[in-house]
Chains A and B, each alone.
Chain A
């Protein structure tokens, strides 16, 4: 029994010393910066994230020039994050008049990319989709391997150059170009709405159309409801007082329910001609 006790004590001391030798070696390797104990921390904001491989499944983009609106991606998508409308162009080819990817729904599974017959959908290496604010404006971080999906490279360069210049030094054309891409809060509109953006007028127009459609639908529904209610009231034997107060969405009230605001976080990627 005494021997067992001694063995326990000695073994404990030995294993602790072994462990401490191991951690001591980790420490030395860490200080030297090489070997199995070297620090693996990446100083992220200062040191850009490393993107390994060329099969990155980051920000999903659609090259609307190639898209034929076949809905293959829509069919393959497990979370229904696509909204698209198509139209025939002058050559009688289908092209997207609207192509929204709800990136707040997207789970980056890549099934749509595998399904796409024209390779117009692709997943880029961009994963840093939160804009940074440097006090004046929102900026999107890019690193060497990441593609900025919201603009082509030429546009990005132009934008960065123009934003850096004092506003008074810009030419009229440049200022107009810049204004088109910056909303009143100073955010890059382009950044919010993805590749193939709406110009503000086009966006307003599209929104108005959508709203009108919705309003018409709501109005029709409300009318049908009112009609049904009226029929019910007429059929009712007591004309004194309806059992329930009249539905507030009677045709008399002009705007039954305001249309839900477009989700801000969802960048609509729209293939239109700027």
Chain B
């Protein structure tokens, strides 16, 4: 659906959405030129949340950067931790002197926390999108469910938002006593609650009609614009780093990848806002399944923390003191799509270059392309459907 925004006398109104606007999810500024209700051009303006995180990464030592990755994307800090740590490990392993392997238990725990965090992150995404189109209740329910994940994480690592849990070579703590029961219980009740959530908003025709056919991104465009993660899969491209370039123990789990299939029926198209939204919900279901699967794989805890099976932390301390030279780019699948870290080591204690590739950045890049000829009211829905988290754009 694209509308013609050309006026006879070319008169347009410039609207500043943001940086402080109820629907821009942080300090994102969008300059909208509109012809009444119809958007003519839309220019996202970034940088209000820039904190030079990449530069900081070049000034601190390798493990010190992990807490900063929490802040790159605070909605899914576990995945952000994991992305950096996996990249750092791969870079360390390019050194022939490196002999460590990340203990299997640690790898399983990593997948577990990453999937739990994916659930909580997607909950925020779908709830916020529902709120953007005017339904307030689902957001509150999503946030309330997210507290369940936060409680588990708080027991696990002591924090509710910036976890700093995954370390280079493992994880910081072993699972606490009763963690598995907690997680199972949470998943069971969460699955039940999600059904109600979907009845309330996903299948609601008002919600569906608001999103169907809006900001359609074809598969070709999605690839061309570098969309990643659920936004890419929403356009029908069947790609998931967890399945196609597995890290940790994802290779053994058989990740099922949901893709957009014009879920809105005859009113929608493949790759519209509704598809992106539904793909997130299907990913939540898949994450629930993966959590249960990985709990089956989890080996019992060992006495020694660096035990290759039951341990939680490989010995990397010496390597980190004197790492080898090299560079690497490793990508992992975060809730907002591929989170890739490009690391260059010059053999000193701190990295020579840290570069973080995030999903929100490319998603924000396509805004001006898809937000042409849509209604002003759709702008917020589209921002919600791409699930941008502003600190991830700005770093």
Task: Write the chain A residue with the least CB distance to B157.
Answer: A55
Point out the residue from B162, B164, B176, B205 that lies within 8 Å of A53, measured CB to CB. Answer: B176
Contacts of A26 in B (CB 8 A): 137, 141, 196
Report A7 CB to chain B, min CB distance, Å.
Answer: 10
Contact partner, A57, options B147, B157, B189, B205, Cβ 8 Å: B157
The 0/1 profile, CB within 8 Å of B marked 1, for residues 1-14 of chain A is: 00000001001100
Report the separation of the CA atoms of residues A78 and B203 in the bound assembly, to the nearest whole angstrom. 47
Given A40-B144, A114-B172 in contact, is the A78-B158 Cβ separation under 8 Å? no
Task: Decide if B155 is an interface residue (CB 8 Å cutoff).
Answer: yes
Closest to B71 in A: A107
Q: How far is the CB of B185 from chain A (nearest CB, A)?
A: 14
A21 CB to closest chain B CB (Å) equals: 8
Minimum distance in angstroms from B129 CB to a CB of chain A = 16
Given A12-B205, A52-B155, A55-B173: A18 in contact with B199 (beta carbons within 8 A): yes
Q: Which residues of B contact A36 (CB under 8 A)?
A: 189, 192-193, 196
Interface string of A54-76 (1 = CB under 8 A from B): 11111000000000000000001
For chain B, give the interface size range. Answer: 35 or more
B180 within 8 A of A: no
Is A143 an interface position by the 8 A CB rule? no
Residues of B near A19 (CB, < 8 A) are 199-201, 204
CA distance A74 to B155 in the complex (A): 26
> In whole angstroms, how far apart are the Cα atoms of A100 and B189 in the complex?
46
For residue A14, which residue of chain B has the nearest CB? B205
Interchain nearest-CB distance for B52 vs A (Å): 14
Is the pair A55, B176 in contact by a Cβ cutoff of 8 Å? yes
Chain B residues, Cβ within 8 Å of A55? 154-158, 173, 176
A126 to B248, CA, bound (A): 35
Contacts of A57 in B (CB 8 A): 157-159
Question: Nearest B residue to A21 by beta-carbon distance?
Answer: B199
Is the C-beta of B274 less than 8 angstroms from some C-beta in chain A? no
Contacts of B159 in A (CB 8 A): 57, 108
Alpha-carbon separation in the docked complex, A22 to B141 (Å): 12
Partner of B164, one of A8, A11, A58, A111: A111
Residues of A within 8 A of B137 (CB): 23, 26
Question: Interface residue tally of chain A, by bracket?
Answer: 20 to 34
Give the nearest-CB partner of A23 in chain B: B137
Q: Quick one: CB contact mask for B163-201 with A, threshold 8 Å, 1 for yes? A: 010000000110010000000000001001100100111
Q: Is the CB of B151 within 8 A of A16?
A: no
- Residues in B whose Cβ lies below 8 Å from that of A8: 205
B55 CB to nearest A CB, Å: 13
B65, B203, B204 interface centre (most CB from chain A within 10 Å): B204
Residues of B291-308 at the interface with A, using a CB-CB cut-off of 8 Å, are: none
Minimum C-beta distance from A26 to chain B (A): 7
Contact of A121 with B by CB under 8 A: no
Enumerate chain B interface residues (CB-CB to A < 8 A).
Answer: 60, 63-68, 70, 137, 141, 144, 147, 151, 154-159, 162, 164, 172-173, 176, 189, 192-193, 196, 199-201, 203-206
A–B pairs, 21, beta carbons within 8 Å: A8-B205, A18-B204, A19-B199, A19-B200, A22-B199, A53-B158, A54-B176, A55-B156, A55-B157, A56-B158, A57-B159, A58-B158, A76-B63, A78-B67, A78-B68, A109-B67, A109-B162, A111-B63, A111-B64, A111-B67, A114-B172
A residues with CB within 8 A of B? 8, 11-12, 15-16, 18-19, 22-23, 25-26, 36, 40, 52-58, 76-78, 107-111, 114, 123
